[in-house]
Amino acid sequence: MQLTKEQRTFIIEKYFQAKSFQQVIQSFQKHFPERQSPTKMTIWRNVTRYRTEGTSLNLNKGRSGRKRTGQSEENVRIVQGALAGNQQISARKSGLDVTKSTFNRIITLDLKWHSYKMHVRNKLLDNDLPRQLNFAQWFLQRNVWFVDDIVVGDETAFHLNGKVNNHNVRTYAPKNQPHNFNFDVGISREKVSVRMELCGNGHVIGPYFYSNNLNGFEYLDLINHMIFQDFEKHMETESIEPGRFRMVLLRIELLL
């Protein structure tokens, strides 16, 4: 247990009065009977600190532990110069000969900047709101078991190169002062797309893989000749009355 400010002051005063370690220990025992007496080394350290620093208080803050050499003035200038030329620089691939942790500490502690993440949102058109409202009203008018009859489908693409990962796209700016930014990539990227359907009873239909973008005719062909056929097999396996299920392929976006 560390000595309190009062106890440190008492040790310094008694030592300069008596010039004796033993008398300081005896006086400390009488004045602080509930506290273990300090050793001669503890007394000497407090006296030496008082002579060199002007105080006997603990000065370990900022002086203990491994010294951080990465946040040097030179490295701060290097990072600041790099941000002036490219505010979307990568902490891991900056090429500045500083570690990722040092780069982030300089950004937040020295430059007082903040890392902002890119968010991708779909642009709403003028006729989107009425369409969404009509769909919601139509949906609310269905019967209670209608949800069990729905087949919801969606697809995603797995890009083989050059895919933008939203989690890795960052831009740096002063805190609470984000700015708009773009991240451009080529549209001719190799990819594999996959589509799946989820039935109201939890059954999964698919997956279906295709390598190219589908136009309207190809998309319709996929639904008629693959998804419908697998769905009919599912109804036969589950002994479901064909007329009970309605094939309603809804884009996930319509439900948001």
80-108 tens-digit pLDDT: 888 888 877 777 777 787 888 888 888 88
Q: How far is CA 114 from CA 88, 117, 176, 207, 230, in A?
A: 12, 10, 8, 41, 50
Q: CA 234, CA 240: separation in Å to the nearest integer?
A: 8
pLDDT at residue 128 greater than cutoff 50? yes
The residue ranking higher by pLDDT, 9 or 164, is: 9
For the ranges 62-66, 171-175, 221-225, the lowest mean pLDDT is seen at 62-66
Side-chain half-sphere exposure of 255, counting CA atoms within 13 A? 11
Side-chain half-sphere exposure of 87, counting CA atoms within 13 A? 18
Band (110; pLDDT cuts 50, 70, 90): confident
Q: What predicted TM-score, i.e. pTM, was given to this entire model?
A: 0.38
pLDDT at residue 77 greater than cutoff 50? yes
pLDDT at residue 1 greater than cutoff 80? no
- The angle subtended at Cα 182 by Cα 180 and Cα 184, nearest 5°, is 180
Q: What is the DSSP letter of 87?
A: T
Band (134; pLDDT cuts 50, 70, 90): very high
